[in-house]
Amino acid sequence: MIIKPRIIPPDIAHLEMLLHRIKPHHTKIPQLEEILSAKQAGWSGEQSLDFHLDYLKGPHYILHNLRLNDGRHFFQIDTVILFPSFILILEAKNMIGQISIHREKREMRRDTEGFQDPVEQAERQKYLLDEWLYNHLGTRMPIDFLVVFTNRRCTLEFDSSDSSIYEKVIRATSLVDTIEKKKGFYPKRMFGKEELSRIGQALVDAHKEYIPDYMSRYNLNYSDLQKGVRCPACGKYSMKRTKMKWACPVCFHISLYAHEQALREYAVLVAKIISNKEARDFLRISSRHVVYRLLSAYCKERRGSTKKARFLLE
């Protein structure tokens, strides 16, 4: 049973918004596109595990993209599976090419690129999750992990005297069989369904979504963004407000709610609170009365008097 579904991570959604809204030919676009491509590849790899996880047998609870606070910092785990006898961490890697894992050097290499040793990364997640469960729930439970390479177009090579690495680093096609074998290493049952559900719900409740601020991270400001309402059909920032609707003079598409996406982008990239004047500037609408009606209908909360009202964006 999936108790924390996999959703598109905010960092991907926010990067996509930024790349739509940033001015054409901006010097940061290639860098942002490269970062987005890497994040999308990782997300795709995580998604590809779902096909295999559908074949898991017996009682279990699945939590995807779990982010917890250990009291000092946050740590994130791709997938956590709660079984009656143990907890399994899955660290997904969607990489192509010749992949070499050097346990003694604590690194992973692809050609000339160096990466963190994924086994060390998963071991760290195991330690932090164990500490979190004990500190928050008073629970100790065996925790295991697997590093799962999801892309078939990769070749794995291990430079290690530790033969157990073959049981820790696998391909996605071996996932279900490997999990079934691991079940035999642990007692038949440590926790019943009710207790396992309690642990799972506590993890879900403690999850804190990561909300990135790419504008600050890449030294971007309001003047770097395109203003206006983007046409959902042709993608041009050319829509005009006419007679209670939006009309695109480029492709002639008509929309009633095209401004809502623009306001969502403003909330992510600029600020979650907007004034009538700021909305007029961003949406390119001259009438304060039209903007007041749009904001009143879209926003659930308003602060201040009518003339100086500020609206809380979703």
The per-residue pLDDT for range 91-138, each reduced to its tens digit, is 999 988 888 888 878 889 887 788 888 999 999 999 999 999 999 999
- Domain boundary at 154, 171, 206, which? 206
Classify residue 168: in a domain, yes or no: yes
Could you tell me if 165 and 243 lie in one domain?
no
Q: Is 280 within a domain?
A: yes
Tens-place pLDDT, residues 211-229: 889 999 999 999 999 999 9
Percent of the chain with pLDDT over 70: 98
Statement: residue 268 has pLDDT above 70: yes
pTM: 0.87
Are 242 and 122 contained in the same domain? no
Domain count, the chain: 2
Q: Do 245 and 106 share a structural domain?
A: no
Cα distances (angstroms) measured from residue 59 to each of 31, 49, 55, 71, 137: 44, 18, 12, 31, 21
Mark whether 73 and 144 lie in a shared domain: yes
For residue 218, the tally of other CB atoms under 10 A from its CB is 14
Contact in structure between 69 and 78 (CB atoms under 8 Å): no
pLDDT at 160 over 70: no
Where does residue 99 rank: exposed (0-12), middle (13-18), buried (19+ CB within 10 A)? buried
Assess whether 195 and 133 both reside in one domain.
yes
* Domain extent for 179: 2-206
User: pLDDT digits over 32-79, tens only?
Assistant: 999 999 999 989 989 999 999 999 999 999 999 999 999 899 999 999
- Burial class from Cβ neighbours inside 10 Å (0-12, 13-18, 19+) for residue 135 reads exposed
Q: Are residues 255 and 135 in the same domain?
A: no
> Are both 51 and 185 inside the same structural domain?
yes
Dist. CA 228–CA 21, nearest whole Å:
9
CB distance 200 to 62 below 8 Å: no
- Whether the pLDDT of residue 273 is over 90: the answer is yes
Q: What is the arithmetic mean of pLDDT over 260-283?
A: 96
Q: 106 by DSSP, 3-state: which? A: coil
Same domain, 242 and 161: no
